[in-house]
Amino acid sequence: MPIRVFLVDDHTLFRQALRLLLECVADIRVVGEMQEGGQLGLTLDRLAVDVVLMDLAMPGVNGLEALRALRKRHPQQCVLMLSTCTDPSFIAELLQAGAKGYVVKTSASEELVNAITAVASGHSYCCPVATAALLPTPPKSALSAANARPRLALGEREKQVLRYLAQGKTSPQIGRALALAPSTIDVHRRNIMSKLDLHSIAELTQYALHSGMLPGALLSSPTQIK
């Protein structure tokens, strides 16, 4: 059965683009949409939805208020927040309020699909940019690696793999992009972590961000809410 997704965003063109994007994915079906969250709980009383994909900043009832109200009415409803905001205080508040995941709007479409699939399967999901934003300061190991080790410490293939890892790609996805076996990608990942003395994807993301290895489009201003 496909994942049933309900869209909540006040920008009509953006909602329409999302619907067209998601309806091209075989395992996802958009079952409804609305432009604000005021009547979301009432709407979901009569509609079976696996994942609510909701914007943060909307006129009237915003995403946080709608999330809190929905969690009271439908405590088990899975909500994935989608926004350009990378302010860690907003992201943390949304996760504490019950959001199962957070994706910035500058993410690739493939990452959004991965996020929907993950939260629909019962997992939590934060895109790499949001994960990096939630870390108040880079871990010491990331800072020491960024300062003490030149980027040339990594081979060109390792740099390619690191960029993909920092964008939230899995080993099979990276393997397809680089025409390599997933097991080979795993070897590169272990080598990268060993060379940089890093121990998690979050630390790799921090290193990539601070080393300027990610595309500029992935970095949103912390003050942006919409």
User: Do 97 and 171 lie in a common domain?
Assistant: no
Q: How many domains does the chain have?
A: 2
Q: What is the pLDDT of residue 140?
A: 54
Q: How many CB atoms lie within 10 A of CB 176?
A: 13
pLDDT tens sequence across 94-129 = 888 899 999 988 888 888 998 999 899 888 888 877
Q: What is the pLDDT of residue 212?
A: 67
With tokens 């601070």, the residue in question is 210
User: Do 151 and 196 lie in a common domain?
Assistant: yes
Cβ–Cβ under 8 Å, residues 94 and 113? no
**Residue where a domain stops, chosen among 84, 112, 133:** 133
User: Do 129 and 140 lie in a common domain?
Assistant: no
d(CA 214, CA 18): 24
In a domain, 223, yes or no: no
User: Do 18 and 84 lie in a common domain?
Assistant: yes
What's this model's pTM, rounded to 2 decimal places?
0.63
- Residue 219: pLDDT band with limits 50, 70, 90: very low
d(CA 88, CA 96): 12
- The CATH number covering residue 15 comes to 3.40.50.2300
Residues 201-223: what's their mean pLDDT? 57
User: Do 128 and 63 lie in a common domain?
Assistant: yes
Segments forming the whole domain that contains residue 15: 3-133
Q: What is the pLDDT of residue 24?
A: 92
pLDDT at 217 over 50: no
In a domain, 225, yes or no: no
User: Do 12 and 124 lie in a common domain?
Assistant: yes
Decide which of 87 and 185 is more confident: 185
* C-alpha distance from residue 100 to each of 12, 121, 166, 168 (Å): 24, 11, 20, 16
Q: In percent, how much of the chain has pLDDT > 70?
A: 82
- The CATH number covering residue 211 comes to 1.10.10.10
